[in-house]
Structure 1
Amino acid sequence: MTRLGKVPADIRKEHKGFDEWDLVVSRHDHPSILQILIDGRDPNAIDIEGKALPTLVYLAREKRPQIHHNFKAGALNALIRISSRISNAPFILNVDCDMHSNDSKAIRDALCFFLDEENGREIGYVQYPQTFGNLTKNEIYGSMRVAMKLELAGFDGNGGPCYIGTGCVHRRESLCGMKYSKELVVEWKAMKYDRKIIEKASSIEGNCKALASCTYEENTPWGKEMGVKYGCVVEDILTGICIQSRGWRSVYLTPQREAFLGMVPTTLLDTLVQHKRWAEGDFQIFLSKLCPFVYGCQNMPLKLQFSYCIYLLWAPNCFATLYYVFVPSFCLLKGISLFPKISSSWGIPYLYVIVVHRVHSLVEFVWLGGTVRGWLNEQRMWMFKRTTSYFLAAIDNILKLCGFSKSAFIITGKVADDDLNRRYEQESMEFGTSSPMFTALATLALFNLFGLVVVGTNKAINDDARIKVFDIFGFQILLCCVLVFVNLPIYQGMFFRKDSGKIPASVTLRSIAFALMASTLAMY
């Protein structure tokens, strides 16, 4: 419709709300569209079994190119205002557009917490874990399984989970900026949400359109003290911090049957871009006045403030990973030992930490329902994200602090063609496009491969030299071997694959050049 610049006649007859799209310019330039598709007060609004249907409203808020629409946060705030005028229901369910309900009892289960006579009045929102319906058996791009099923449970034990932007049931008062206090209990019980004043649907539509206009929020608390917060690409985390800082508690609810199912990105680039946005926004919160240690110091438990650091410090944690990915191999080529000798007793603590930490991670992942190969993919993605997404997020935040760049909201792609879907189902890692992230990954992969080849050919000339080299550089060689193993899909994408999902030749040539330069610098 936006390509045609008008609404086709057959669609116009089916949806009367499109009458206002006569002068459509683009999806970024149009008036408010509001239509009550099903009026729950109408006695004729029943299903095939004769049961009453709930009110269903379609809303497309006004957008103008000269006025910032604040992305998802702006859309949510417009919906909050419209819903307060139509139903003013006390609880609000928030799910992403690519998610669907998987359990009809999910809302009822959440309401059990809100309506609890002892502690329900202090609960601001109930958060479900984010689960996906399009995962492959071994979760080639990861699934945040540990984060959703274990880390959020830890949040719950420390004072309440963070708000992750979807699969969440909110109390309207907490989402609209009200502070929690015990005195509000009487007001809640006195509030009535069954609209006794009968108003025609057409009248409601006309009166509510102003609430969805792009200028309504000017000089108002919306996006600041009220509603979902603006000014951050991870508005969900920031909003959850603000709600908890006003004294509200949150609850983590993980039913046996997944309540909602979404879609995970089906390409490596989409996954890395998504995590880059998340890491950048999280670190931005940590460096701002809304950091939990500053803004939430009065009402948030200290252990909950520390829990947020798991995500808020994703970006700066990249530097430790980059050190282990690059420096040991660089020093191996240079002939510099960084770790104790294998024969030395000082090497035992290193072996203990390496083995115990990885075994613990594996057991944890499998216990939560994953596979061994899925755990390997999770470790691979852990390294890929920290050497690209989180590194770029940290750099962007540093540049932003220096006034050189601004944050931008990037939508993660979820639409794929048949060939891409086939490769995803076969768990073949998708590259296909030229990206600086792929250049960085391929360069690091080749650099570690060159280091292992050089040590294997130049250092181990005879048995005595081989034993001596392995004794001195054993831990570095082991680390280099692990990195080469983790990067196997990258080598395959550069040199062996022939399909359209391979790494482009331009990326391969640049990566070889950069890796050779780094190796030459290390050796000479």
Structure 2
Amino acid sequence: MHNRGWRSIYCVTKRDAFRGTAPINLTDRLHQVLRWATGSVEIFFSRNNALLSGPKLKFLQRIAYLNVGIYPFTSIFLIVYCFLPALSLFSGQFIVQTLNITFLAYLLGITISLVLLAVLEIKWSGIQLEEWWRNEQFWLIGGTSAHLAAVIQGLLKVIAGIEISFTLTSKSTGEDDDDEYADLYIVKWTSLMIPPLTIMMVNIIAIAVGVSRTIYATNPEWSRLLGGVFFSFWVLAHLYPFAKGLMGRRGRTPTIVYVWSGLIAITISLLWVAINPPSSAGSQIGGSFSFP
């Protein structure tokens, strides 16, 4: 419509014009996000791409539609960022080899910009800080699962001509009078859960490996360990709702999940120490790392 010259007005009424139900459990929510992201990828690869549209589309409209079309592709970089702290702990080398004034100033500028952007979003939308944080958490969960799957499906459709079949999301029925949030605790396995689960396990194991190697090192460098562990914990903090969703109903947490996670982490840590003895670990850890 905008490409043909039509104008649109955003109308906000006092009373809600429409109301509906939304998927409440993790699986259905991820499927819904997948459907949205896949639609954006299809538009990006179609003739309605904001870059290839006609002259009637205004500049800001092009920017807005381009943002809608390319946001699923950020999942590729997001996946890399989530694995970087774990790779740092596995390799024993910090993400940044040398910290200088230029890098710290650049990092400080980006951090302040992100904080100010978050404050503006909270003030503009009128939501609470806790609600904003939950949105940030689900952005990472959806970005590492549904958005990545949407990009893969979109590329398969463009390159190989494979059609995409959507899974309709079931909405909350409210049939359980005893617990109106009964659907929230339903856990249905889907392949979309594999990337976030892999990120969680790799970061947990990397923390165990980094701690064990530092403890057994001849010259332990705790500052480097704390740097890598901080970023891994930051990734895990964003994935906490995902882990909580996998647990299902409160009071029914499968203990086997904790048991296997602990056994895998301990086993890999012991194997790493056996392969990389303390004597060599100390020499490997003592790489170049300087503060300004």
Q: Same fold (TM over 0.5)?
A: yes
RMSD of Structure 2 on Structure 1 (CA): 3.8
* Rounded Cα–Cα distance in structure 1 between residues aligned with 2:185 and 2:119: 25
* Other structure's SS at 1:405 match: coil
Per the alignment, residue 421 of structure 1 pairs with: 180
Per the alignment, residue 457 of structure 1 pairs with: 212
Q: Residue 293 in 1 paired to residue 45 in 2?
A: no
Q: CA deviation at 1:301?
A: 1.2
Q: CA deviation at 1:285?
A: 1.2
Cα 1:457–1:352 shift into 2, 3 Å:
farther
Cα 1:490–1:288 shift into 2, 3 Å:
closer
Per the alignment, residue 286 of structure 2 pairs with: none
From 168, 190, 193, give the equivalent of 1:411.
168
From 427, 432, 439, give the equivalent of 2:187.
432
Q: CA deviation at 1:487?
A: 2.3
Residue type of the partner of 1:354? T
Residue type of the partner of 2:224? V
Cα 1:303–1:492 shift into 2, 3 Å:
closer
From 124, 148, 152, give the equivalent of 1:391.
148
Unaligned runs of 5+ in 1: 1-242
Preserved CA contact (<8 Å) 1:448 1:480? yes
Cα 1:305–1:490 shift into 2, 3 Å:
closer
Per the alignment, residue 402 of structure 1 pairs with: 159
Query: Which is bigger in relative contact order (C-alpha 8 A, separation at least 6)?
Result: 2
Cα 1:366–1:431 shift into 2, 3 Å:
farther
Per the alignment, residue 479 of structure 1 pairs with: 231
Cα 1:305–1:373 shift into 2, 3 Å:
same
Per the alignment, residue 186 of structure 1 pairs with: none
Per the alignment, residue 445 of structure 1 pairs with: 200
Per the alignment, residue 287 of structure 2 pairs with: none
Cα 1:305–1:332 shift into 2, 3 Å:
same
Preserved CA contact (<8 Å) 1:270 1:413? yes
Q: Residue 261 in 1 paired to residue 19 in 2?
A: yes
Cα 1:505–1:284 shift into 2, 3 Å:
farther
Per the alignment, residue 13 of structure 1 pairs with: none
Deviation per CA, 1:227-255: give whole Å up to 9, x if none. xxxxxxxxxxxxxxxx1111111111234
Per the alignment, residue 251 of structure 1 pairs with: 9
Preserved CA contact (<8 Å) 1:279 1:389? yes
Q: Residue 373 in 1 paired to residue 130 in 2?
A: yes
Cα 1:441–1:377 shift into 2, 3 Å:
same
Cα 1:520–1:250 shift into 2, 3 Å:
farther
Cα 1:421–1:245 shift into 2, 3 Å:
same
Cα 1:254–1:342 shift into 2, 3 Å:
farther
Question: What are the within-5 Å matches in structure 2 for residues 65-464 of structure 1?
Answer: 243-294=1-52, 296-339=53-96, 341=98, 346-403=103-160, 405-416=162-173, 417-418=175-176, 421-422=180-181, 430=185, 432-459=187-214
* Other structure's SS at 2:139 match: helix
Cα 1:267–1:503 shift into 2, 3 Å:
farther
Preserved CA contact (<8 Å) 1:434 1:503? no
Cα 1:494–1:301 shift into 2, 3 Å:
closer
Residue type of the partner of 2:142? K
Per the alignment, residue 110 of structure 1 pairs with: none
* Rounded Cα–Cα distance in structure 2 between residues aligned with 1:256 and 1:463: 68
Preserved CA contact (<8 Å) 1:494 1:503? no
Per the alignment, residue 111 of structure 1 pairs with: none
Q: How many residues align?
A: 271
Q: CA deviation at 1:414?
A: 0.9
Q: Which structure shows the higher strand fraction?
A: 1
Q: Which structure shows the higher helix fraction?
A: 2
Identical pairs, percent: 19
Deviation per CA, 1:68-94: give whole Å up to 9, x if none. xxxxxxxxxxxxxxxxxxxxxxxxxxx
* Other structure's SS at 2:19 match: strand
Question: What are the within-5 Å matches in structure 2 for residues 7-18 of structure 1?
Answer: none
Normalising by structure 2, report the TM-score.
0.76
Cα 1:434–1:365 shift into 2, 3 Å:
same
